[in-house]
Structure 1
Amino acid sequence: MYENSSELAENKLLMLYVLKTIKDPISNTQLTEIILENNFINYFTFQQYLAELEESKFVEYHEANDKKLLILTEAGDNVLSLFKARISPSKISIIDEYIKEKIGSIKKELTIHADYTLGESDDSFIVDLKAIEDQTLLMELKLSVPTKNQATSICSKWKENPSEIYTNIINILIN
């Protein structure tokens, strides 16, 4: 099914609107989630539109702390300002409500990083934990653990309560 040109334009404008509303750079995955969870566009069409927006220089990727994050360019902001009225008010309302509800978890995802990889020897895992604030690295901690269970557990605990863990580590190191 092909969309007409006004639907195509509205959907691209909606993607620009999300980036403007969030104000901070976000990952492709986060933008995809916002659009797909609200059933605006299917995944493949979304990725095509995103590539077209990038090609038109309305959005661009920036590297920040080993992550590729999307930002709205000045050109994208100008286009949005000129044509925002083409986005249906109901879609704007849905996006605004969604972002208001989820902004905490969106920002947390951008500031907290937890991952693990297989260590140099196959009997260990390297856990990499990071805390980032305003795109500045606050802390990075790399640990070697013997099991995958321990690695996933450490990553989960870090994601659940990073500020308490960060504060405890700082207190232990200072006191």
Structure 2
Amino acid sequence: MYNTTSDLAEDKLLLLYLLEKIKLPISNNKITQIILENNFINYFSLQQYITELLNSNFIDTIEQEGKNRIVISDNGLKVLSLFRNRISENKIKAIDAYLDNQLDDIKKEISVYAEYTIEGNNYIVNLKTLEKNYILIDIKLNVATNKQAQDLCAKWKKNSSDLYKKLLQVLIDD
């Protein structure tokens, strides 16, 4: 599958580099999306590397809002600092360029929650925004229809920052 073990090591170091650059807990799905969009590693090898990095304590999983997220560990940061030069400059440039274009969207996706559940005849919409693992706002609303619940979730995901500011202003104004 690989010509040398250096290819395998470079791929694992690339994952550590990605996690270090993002600086946020991130889902396995999001890591997979980033890696596959850039054609760095195939899906099955990627999942194997993530498992191996977890088992080696180079990355950790944390639970955030009921979802597992991946972060680089202190051991992973040490390994990356020692062996970063083994990642090809082309791959580093590609990751850096991707993150320059996508990091705001990634942060928004990670820190903005909008979900709803059905309780009896009502829909309970939970809207939440985090910043650096601190809750900025957490609102639960009871709405009558599925469409209202879906619309609220979509609006919150699209404009949570503006809606938060407006809501805060309404609550603060006399």
TM-score using structure 1 length: 0.92
Partner secondary structure for residue 71 of structure 1:
strand
Superposition pairs for residues 12-23 of structure 1, below 5 Å? 12-23=12-23
1:112-155: CA deviation from partner (whole Å, max 9, x where unpaired): 11111222x1x322111001112111111111222221111111
Name the Cα RMSD after superposition: 1.4
> Where does structure 2 lack aligned partners over 5 or more consecutive residues?
none
Q: 2:167 aligns with which of 147, 166, 169?
A: 169
- Answering whether residue 75 of structure 2 is matched by residue 57 of structure 1, we say no
Shift of 1:67: 3.4
1:83-102: CA deviation from partner (whole Å, max 9, x where unpaired): 21221111111001001111
CA distance in structure 1 between the partners assigned to 2:78 and 2:141 by the alignment? 46
User: How many correspondences in the alignment?
Assistant: 172
Q: Which residue of 2 aligns with 1:100?
A: 100
CA distance in structure 2 between the partners assigned to 1:24 and 1:142 by the alignment? 25
Q: Which residue of 2 aligns with 1:134?
A: 132
Superposition pairs for residues 22-61 of structure 1, below 5 Å? 22-61=22-61
CA distance in structure 2 between the partners assigned to 1:95 and 1:49 by the alignment? 18
Are the aligned partners of 1:118 and 1:124 in contact in 2 as well (CA < 8 Å)?
yes
Shift of 1:6: 1.9
CA distance in structure 1 between the partners assigned to 2:169 and 2:90 by the alignment? 48
> Where does structure 1 lack aligned partners over 5 or more consecutive residues?
none
Q: Which residue of 2 aligns with 1:111?
A: 111
Specify the code of the residue in structure 1 equivalent to 2:136.
L
Partner secondary structure for residue 26 of structure 1:
coil
Q: Which residue of 2 aligns with 1:3?
A: 2
CA distance in structure 2 between the partners assigned to 1:30 and 1:153 by the alignment? 24
Q: 1:154 aligns with which of 138, 149, 152?
A: 152
TM-score using structure 2 length: 0.92
Structure 1 window deviating more from structure 2 (151-160 vs 37-46): it is: 37-46
CA distance in structure 1 between the partners assigned to 2:147 and 2:77 by the alignment? 45
